[in-house]
Structures are given as structure tokens and as C-alpha cells.
């Protein structure tokens, strides 16, 4: 009886997960195997082998990996600098509040902020061109292509890393460093055998979060890239809304399923890594 | 994750959710007999004449339109005029949506009061979805050339235009032909309205480039090659042009329908000297399509809207926006055409090319396979 009442408490959670996770996933998974006539078909899934879709997946994974690693490394260094400044310092307060804002600063607003700053007639672009004779777009309009996406994504990845990685950095006690040194360990030794192993799981976990964050980002790219669909979320947009190529809604769902698979693979790799590192820690 | 819970409870919870969701669709707001009459009406006469149609539409009091930007073919003024004339409120949803978005919205909102009543679609999307339209013949049906309508009135062409090049004459020299745009004067300046694998206007921009670059309606590879060369020269600008980008000088040259470029020029008069040219011997024309939704929540208002669009008044309002209305020839003969507006349309030299369905399909397939390689 009491067990049943315990289960009742979990119902809201299941309702929530059902509506926002399970049902959409089922819609995507089932739609991937249906043709436009609602018959079962494998055409949508085999269409994923098309050159341009494979390209989009490669670009998406590259973009996410590069911005995750850049964001993780720079964010971790920034976080470390903040932690050494002391728990109640002004620096720490300013940086953490700024990161809280900037990590959520994405989508259309972010894209337009970049366009207004370093776009074709952005004020920095014009200043560099008119005052210093430097044309940042001499080699092409890179802002509206993959390099531009790397820059803009990194901009929100760094603050996100600071936020998620600070707690782990806070867990490192200065006494451990003192202990290492009094026992004759070098700085290298401390990082290699004490702080490194302690921070590794959190660092990897945060990097993974950053990867997923970039992999699924859509609005920023949609606002920035209007010509061509270099990454998967934009290919899905095209499949759903194109007025030129019709009847591709379910290919869009197959692409979404592909994204789920990619994230699942990354998660399993992460889990395997976690197991390795935990053994290494023991 | 140490949550252990019986699988059955999970199932019960999820199925409860499913039941709750399926019970969520609101009932439709229109169940009157009059509405069903209007929904079946194939002409105004079926309703007992135009006056009766107006009466029924006024009773409904609302019209839902979708994907009609106010500065596209003068739709802003057309909607205002319709409301002023009949006192019917027009809800204009998602002005920047694509044709496919219109169809998606009609499917998703089916049976609800907010579903679109009427469509304004690109040809490809219209022909792929004829089962969703209600046939209707407007009072001026006989003025519309047979090639520009479906015989029973399931869909009817409404207005058309030619692919044109709009340019800021203070920034670039006047381009006489498509290939002029490859010159150094156009470095980082040429934009296409949308992605040709997604948007009809951009698609026709590629077709026009093909005609101007030695290709034909049957072979648009030359158009894709042209944009490839444009990109190589550093002239192609992967930015979606809007009034704002034109005004700020980000997109000094834009491939778009002539009525959109002309409207752009009118809108920015005094700020930007925006001129429109239809490139010589690369004239691609295309009509848009009107259709009434078979599931229109306001069937009478939907039909009255069509009557208004195809009346002299509606046709001249399109013309005022730079679009070429489908009854232009008949109205010219009858003397009801706004000749001042007609004279202001961009000059066309050469024979206009209208793509057939087969040519459109072949071009689409070619673009799907090759556009991303060249420009993506």
C-alpha cells in the first residue's frame, strides 16, 4: 500500500518525461520509417547516406567537437583563474554573473550581435577597413559559413564551461597542493597525479555537455546562415519547410534520429571513459 | 540512476499521458448549417448570389490568412482594403512563412478556429497538395486565361512577375546582363533571396542565371555554375536580403521577383536609390497560386476574399504592388486596368520563359544534388 503511494509521487515526473521526451522521440523514430503514404519504408534512413547529408553530419560533429574542446579548455582556464581569485572576490562575482548571462545568450540575438559587430557592415569591420586598411572578409564571407559558426558557438560555450566546471574547481583544496609540495612533489607531479585525476571526470562530463549543446543548437545557425545548410539542424529545417523540394518531412525525422544516435554514441564513449578514469582513480 | 520502479507503473503513466494528449484537441468553433453551405459552394451563385455570400462572410466576421508579408505584392494594403470594405477582421499569421509552412499549418490546425482559410502558394507546393483545396470559381472566372487555372477552380493563378536584379545605383554600376555581375565592381555584393533548394524566388533566380549564362529551362546547370563562379570571384553574398539589409547597404544587389524589388525601391525612396532591371533575354516568369482550404474555419469569408482578389479593385491593388495580376489583359481591354501602375512595371526584353512542371521537377532534382556542392 505504502509502496503504491510512493509510486504516485513519481507520476508527475513520468507525465513530464512522457510528454517532452518519450512522445517526441517516438514520433521521430516512427516517422523515420514511414513514407509519404504512411507505409513502412527504409527509404528515409537510406537517404541519410546521400552525400550532402553525410557532409552535414560530418560538419555538425566537427563544429560541435571543435567548439566543445575550445570552450572546455578556455573555459577551464578562465574558471581556474576565477577560483584562485578567492571565493568572495569581486572578480569572481563579476565573472560568474557575466557567464550566467552569456551562456544563455544564444539564438537570433547572438547572431545579430555578431552581424552588427563583425558583419559585412558591422562597426568593427568598417573601422578595421577604413582606419587600418584591414579587410577581414578579403578571403570570402566566412562569418556566414562554418568558420563563423565556430566563432559564434565558442562565444557561448566558454561561459557555459565556466559555470558547469566551477564547482569541480572549488572542490580542489589548496592543502592538497601544499601536501604535495611538502612531500617533494613538483607542480607537474601535482597536476599529473592529484588535481588532474580529480578533475578529469568533471572536465570530460562538461565537454560532453558542451558537445551536445552545440550539436543541437539551431536558432543561432538559422539566423546566421541563410544560404546552404551546412549542418544537420539546418538540413532538417530545409526538409520540413522547403517549397522547392517536397515530401521530405520524414527524411527530416530520419536526420533527427541520426542526431539521437550520434549523441547516444558519444554518451556511451563517455560512460566507457568514466569507467576507465574511475579505475584509474582507485 | 538508481530509480527502480515497476515497468507497469511507467506504462500506466505514459498511457495516461497519451490519453490526456488525445483529449486535448479543442472542438471546432463552427458548426452552423450556413457554414456547411458555404463550404460546399463552388460559385457565389451557389450561395444565392454575391450579396448572400457577403452576408454569410460578415456573420463569420473573421478571415485567417497565412504567409502574406505586408510588403509582398501589396498585401498589406489589400488586407486593409478588404477589412474596410466588408468589416471582416483579417488574422495574418506567420507573414514570413514558406508555402510548405502554409500546408503544414493547415494540417496541424485542422478542425480548429485558427486554421488558415486561404492559401497563396508556389506552384510546386500547390500541385502537390490539391486534395486540401476546395474548388471555387470567382465571378470574373472567364477573364482568367485557361492555362492559368485548374478547370474546376481547385487552384487559380493570381499574380505573377519576372525574376529581376535589384541594385543600389549609388554603390554599383547598372548590370545589363546576368554575367555582368561577375565583374570586380560587384565583389561581395550579390545576394539571392533565399536558398534555391528551399525558396521559390531563389530557385527562379538560379533559372534566370541559367538563361543568362547560356543554359535553358531544360538545363539549369549553367545557373548553378554561374553562382559557383560568383562565389569563386568573391561576389556572392550568402545573406538573406531584407529591407533592413538593403537599407543598411549590406546587400547592394539582390536577385528577386520584380514586384518585390520594385516595392523595395518604393519603400526606401529617398534613402536608397534602389533600381530594378529584368535582365535581357533571361526573363523567367512565374505565377503564384490562390486556393481555398477545404477545411476553412470561415468558408464564406474565404470565398469572399477570392471574389475580392479577383475583382478589378483587388487586381489593381496587386498591380500597384508591382505584381502582374492574372486578369491584366482582360482588364486592359475593358479599360479598368490602372494604366499608370502598369506603365511603371520594369521593361522586359526577350521572350518570357515559364517553366513546365517537368522542367521544374528536373531543375529541383538537379539543385538538390548540386547546389550544396557549389555554394554550401
Q: What is the 3-state secondary structure (H, E, C) of B88-119?
A: CEEEEECCCCCHHHHHHHHHHCCCCCCCCCEE
User: Do A225 and A149 meet the contact criterion of CB atoms below 8 Å apart?
Assistant: yes
Residue of B130 and B31 predicted with greater confidence = B130
Q: Are strands B324-325 and B156-168 parallel, antiparallel or unpaired?
A: antiparallel
Q: What is the pLDDT of residue B74?
A: 94
Backbone conformation region of residue B229, classed left if phi is above 0, alpha if psi is from -120 to 50, else beta: alpha
Q: What is the dihedral of CA B169, B175, B179, B180, to 10 degrees?
A: -70
* Domain locations along chain B: 45-159+288-344, 160-285+351-373
Q: How far is CA B31 from CA A129, B34, B297, in A?
A: 65, 9, 9
User: Do A64 and A146 meet the contact criterion of CB atoms below 8 Å apart?
Assistant: no
Give the lowest-confidence range in B19-23, B33-37, B318-322: B19-23
Contact between A144 and B368 using a beta-carbon 8 Å cutoff: no
Q: How far is B151 from chain A (nearest CA, A)?
A: 24
Of chain B residues 140-169, which have a CB less than 8 A from chain A?
A: none
Contact between A141 and B6 using a beta-carbon 8 Å cutoff: no
Count of Cβ atoms closer than 10 Å to residue B341 Cβ:
16
Q: In the predicted model, what is the mean pLDDT of residues A232-255?
A: 88
Q: In the predicted model, what is the mean pLDDT of residues B156-167?
A: 95
**A273 pLDDT exceeds 80?**
no
**B231 pLDDT exceeds 60?**
yes
User: Do B212 and B226 meet the contact criterion of CB atoms below 8 Å apart?
Assistant: yes
CB contacts of A247 in chain B (<8 Å) are 128
Residue of A nearest to B238 (CA): A227
Q: Provide the pLDDT confidence category of residue A178 given band limits of 50, 70 and 90.
A: confident
Q: Over the stretch B279-298, which tens digit does the pLDDT of each residue have?
A: 988 999 999 999 999 999 99
Could you tell me the fold of the domain covering B160-285+351-373? Answer: D-Maltodextrin-Binding Protein; domain 2 (3.40.190)
The three-class DSSP label of residue B135 is coil
Residue of B nearest to A8 (CA): B9
| Three cell numbers, residue A55 | 557532409
Q: Provide the pLDDT confidence category of residue B213 given band limits of 50, 70 and 90.
A: very high
Q: What is the pLDDT of residue A99?
A: 92
pTM of the model: 0.79
Domains and CATH numbers, chain A: 50-279 (1.10.3720.10)
User: Which of A51, A244, A245 would best serve as a mutation to test chain B binding (most B beta carbons within 10 A)?
Assistant: A244
Minimal Cβ distance to A120: which of B101, B188, B234: B188
The three-class DSSP label of residue B254 is strand
Could you tell me the fold of the domain covering B45-159+288-344? Answer: D-Maltodextrin-Binding Protein; domain 2 (3.40.190)
- How far apart, in whole angstroms, are the C-alpha atoms of residue B302 and residue B355? 29
- How far apart, in whole angstroms, are the C-alpha atoms of residue A109 and residue A219? 9
Q: Per-residue DSSP letters for B160-207?
A: EEEEEEEEETTTSPPP-SGGGGGSGGGTTTEEESS-TTT-HHHHHHHH
Provide the mean pLDDT of chain B.
Answer: 88
* Matching fold, domains B45-159+288-344 and B160-285+351-373: yes
Q: What is the pLDDT of residue B31?
A: 45
Dihedral sign computed on CA atoms, order B92, B95, B97, B98? positive
Residue of A nearest to B375 (CA): A228
Amino acid at each position: 500500500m505504502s509502496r503504491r503511494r510512493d509510486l504516485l509521487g513519481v507520476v508527475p515526473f513520468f507525465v513530464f518525461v512522457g510528454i517532452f521526451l518519450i512522445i517526441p522521440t517516438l514520433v521521430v523514430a516512427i516517422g523515420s520509417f514511414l513514407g509519404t503514404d504512411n507505409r513502412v519504408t527504409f527509404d528515409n534512413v537510406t537517404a541519410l547516406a546521400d552525400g550532402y547529408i553525410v557532409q552535414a553530419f560530418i560538419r555538425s560533429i566537427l563544429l560541435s567537437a571543435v567548439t566543445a574542446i575550445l570552450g572546455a579548455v578556455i573555459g577551464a582556464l578562465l574558471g581556474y583563474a576565477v577560483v584562485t581569485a578567492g571565493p568572495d572576490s569581486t572578480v569572481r562575482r563579476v565573472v560568474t554573473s557575466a557567464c550566467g548571462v552569456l551562456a544563455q545568450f544564444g539564438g537570433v540575438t547572438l547572431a545579430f550581435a555578431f552581424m552588427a559587430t563583425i558583419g559585412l557592415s558591422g562597426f568593427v569591420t568598417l573601422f578595421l577597413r577604413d582606419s587600418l586598411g584591414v579587410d577581414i572578409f578579403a578571403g570570402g564571407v566566412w562569418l556566414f559559413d562554418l568558420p563563423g559558426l565556430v566563432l559564434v558557438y565558442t562565444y557561448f560555450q566558454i561561459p557555459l564551461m565556466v559555470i558547469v566546471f566551477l564547482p569541480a574547481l572549488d572542490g580542489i583544496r589548496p592543502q592538497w597542493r601544499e601536501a604535495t609540495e611538502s612531500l617533494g612533489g613538483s607542480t607537474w607531479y601535482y597536476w599529473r597525479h592529484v588535481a588532474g585525476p580529480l578533475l578529469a571526470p568533471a572536465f570530460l562530463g562538461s565537454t560532453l555537455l558542451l558537445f551536445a549543446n552545440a550539436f543541437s543548437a539551431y536558432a543561432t545557425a538559422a539566423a546566421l546562415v541563410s544560404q546552404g545548410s551546412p549542418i544537420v539542424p539546418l538540413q532538417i529545417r530545409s526538409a520540413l519547410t522547403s517549397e522547392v523540394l517536397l515530401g521530405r518531412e520524414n527524411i527530416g525525422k530520419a536526420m533527427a534520429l541520426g542526431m539521437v544516435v550520434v549523441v547516444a554514441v558519444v554518451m556511451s564513449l563517455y560512460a566507457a571513459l568514466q569507467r576507465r578514469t574511475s579505475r584509474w582513480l582507485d | 540512476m538508481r530509480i527502480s520502479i515497476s515497468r507497469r507503473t511507467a506504462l500506466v503513466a505514459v498511457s495516461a499521458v497519451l490519453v490526456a494528449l488525445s483529449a486535448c484537441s479543442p472542438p471546432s468553433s463552427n458548426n452552423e448549417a450556413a457554414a456547411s453551405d458555404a463550404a460546399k459552394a463552388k460559385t457565389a451563385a451557389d450561395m444565392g448570389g454575391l450579396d448572400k455570400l457577403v452576408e454569410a462572410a460578415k456573420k463569420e466576421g473573421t478571415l485567417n490568412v497565412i504567409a502574406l508579408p505586408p510588403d509582398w505584392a501589396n498585401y498589406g494594403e489589400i488586407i486593409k482594403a478588404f477589412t474596410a470594405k466588408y468589416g471582416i477582421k483579417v488574422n495574418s499569421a506567420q507573414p514570413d512563412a514558406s508555402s510548405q509552412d502554409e500546408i503544414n499549418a493547415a494540417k496541424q490546425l485542422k478542425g480548429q478556429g485558427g486554421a488558415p482559410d486561404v492559401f497563396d502558394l508556389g506552384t510546386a507546393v500547390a500541385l502537390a497538395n490539391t486534395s486540401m483545396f476546395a474548388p471555387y470559381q470567382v465571378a470574373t472566372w472567364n477573364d482568367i486565361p485557361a492555362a492559368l487555372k485548374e478547370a474546376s477552380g481547385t487552384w487559380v493563378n493570381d499574380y505573377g512577375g519576372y525574376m529581376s536584379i535589384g541594385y543600389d545605383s549609388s554603390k554599383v554600376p547598372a548590370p545589363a546582363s546576368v554575367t555582368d555581375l561577375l565583374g570586380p565592381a560587384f565583389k561581395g555584393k550579390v545576394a539571392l533571396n533565399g536558398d534555391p533548394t528551399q525558396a521559390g524566388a531563389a530557385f527562379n533566380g538560379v533559372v534566370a542565371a541559367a538563361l543568362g549564362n547560356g543554359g535553358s529551362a531544360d538545363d539549369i546547370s549553367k545557373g548553378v555554375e554561374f553562382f559557383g563562379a560568383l562565389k569563386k570571384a568573391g561576389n556572392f553574398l550568402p545573406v538573406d536580403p531584407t529591407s533592413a539589409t538593403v537599407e543598411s547597404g549590406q546587400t547592394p544587389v539582390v536577385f528577386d521577383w520584380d514586384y518585390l524589388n520594385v516595392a523595395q525601391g518604393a519603400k526606401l525612396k529617398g534613402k536608397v536609390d534602389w533600381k530594378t532591371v529584368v535582365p535581357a533575354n533571361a526573363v523567367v516568369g512565374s505565377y503564384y497560386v490562390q486556393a481555398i482550404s477545404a477545411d476553412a474555419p470561415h468558408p464564406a469569408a474565404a470565398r469572399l476574399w477570392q471574389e475580392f482578389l479577383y475583382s478589378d479593385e483587388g487586381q489593381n491593388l496587386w498591380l500597384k504592388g508591382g505584381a502582374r495580376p492574372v486578369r491584366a489583359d482582360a482588364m486592359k481591354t475593358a479599360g479598368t486596368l490602372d494604366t499608370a501602375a502598369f506603365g511603371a512595371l520594369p521593361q522586359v526584353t526577350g521572350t518570357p520563359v515559364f517553366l513546365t512542371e517537368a522542367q521544374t521537377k528536373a531543375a529541383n532534382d538537379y539543385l538538390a544534388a548540386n547546389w550544396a556542392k557549389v555554394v554550401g
